[in-house]
Amino acid sequence: MHIHWFPGHMTKAQRMIREQLKLIDVVIELLDARIPLSSANPVIAELVEGKPKVVALNKADLAEPARTAEWVSYFRHLGFTTVTLDSASGKGTKELANKVEQEASEKIAKLAAKGIKGRAVRAMILGIPNVGKSSLINRLLGTATAKTGDKPGVTRGQQWLKIGKNLELLDTPGVLWPRMDDQEVAVKLAVTGAIKDDIYDMEKVILNLLEILNARYRDRLCERYKLTPEQLTEDTNELLALIAAKRGCLQSGGTVDCEKTRRMILTDFRSGKLGKFTLDIPVENPETEKYSNK
């Protein structure tokens, strides 16, 4: 299975980001706490190299708390100021604003020494599609100014927004990378909603998700779909059919409605009905070891 999705507007977005970076004091890279490294776009890392950066792990309410704590330690070990967020409820947004101002304090002090006083901190939010940028901005503003949606690609342009007296924020469209050579990463982006559902093979992606859940979260499958451990099988097609039967996802004649079952599992996963998940696992020595997908 190969997932590639790079709409033309993302090329334009990269060019816009490059042009605006010279105006920016601090970059906020918004990551999905469920897949902190799979959602870290290497294109973004290249674009903002040398700029002060705050890493924000969003959707922490959907991730495993212990794993999120490990990821915070991971990024801080690499030298990044790191915060956790639940932009849907607003938890963590004040801390983020404070950290951004702290990261920019040295530059603001230099400007003040030159006689430029009272200039707000200028920050840019970057991240992949559907990671929650607009929801975060709305929370920071306290109003639904930025357009939000549960589908990737909602924000197409750039807009400056004033946050209090000391912070100006530049929103940007979500940016994916042109090639996804790691298809395991691509599957994780698909199941968390960073890639539009209509451009990948839903059947294969959900079977991959079931394989991960069956290997690491068997208790969740049993609890949600009323299965016994003995019923769980490594054959993901059989497991899908079993879940369909348990949840009544059947067509006339008693045949399995695979499409309905796949979408039900995906909805359960994204909404948190299957529990909290972290699909990327950090390592103890981030400078010398790669993270684990297993």
* CB 33, CB 71: distance < 8 Å: yes
Gyration radius of the chain over CA positions = 21
241 is in an annotated binding site: no
Q: Going along the chain, which residue ranges are E strands?
A: 26-32, 53-58, 81-84, 121-126, 159-163, 167-171
61 is in an annotated binding site: yes
CA distance 8 to 59: 27
187 is in an annotated binding site: no
Which pair of tokens denotes residue 169? 């924020």
Is residue 294 helix, strand or coil? coil
58 is in an annotated binding site: yes
149 is in an annotated binding site: no
131 is in an annotated binding site: yes
Torsion of CA 173, 181, 1, 225, to 10 degrees: -70
130 is in an annotated binding site: yes
133 is in an annotated binding site: yes
60 is in an annotated binding site: yes
Q: Which residues are annotated as a binding site for GTP?
A: 58-61, 130-135, 174
Q: Which residues are annotated as a binding site?
A: 58-61, 130-135, 174
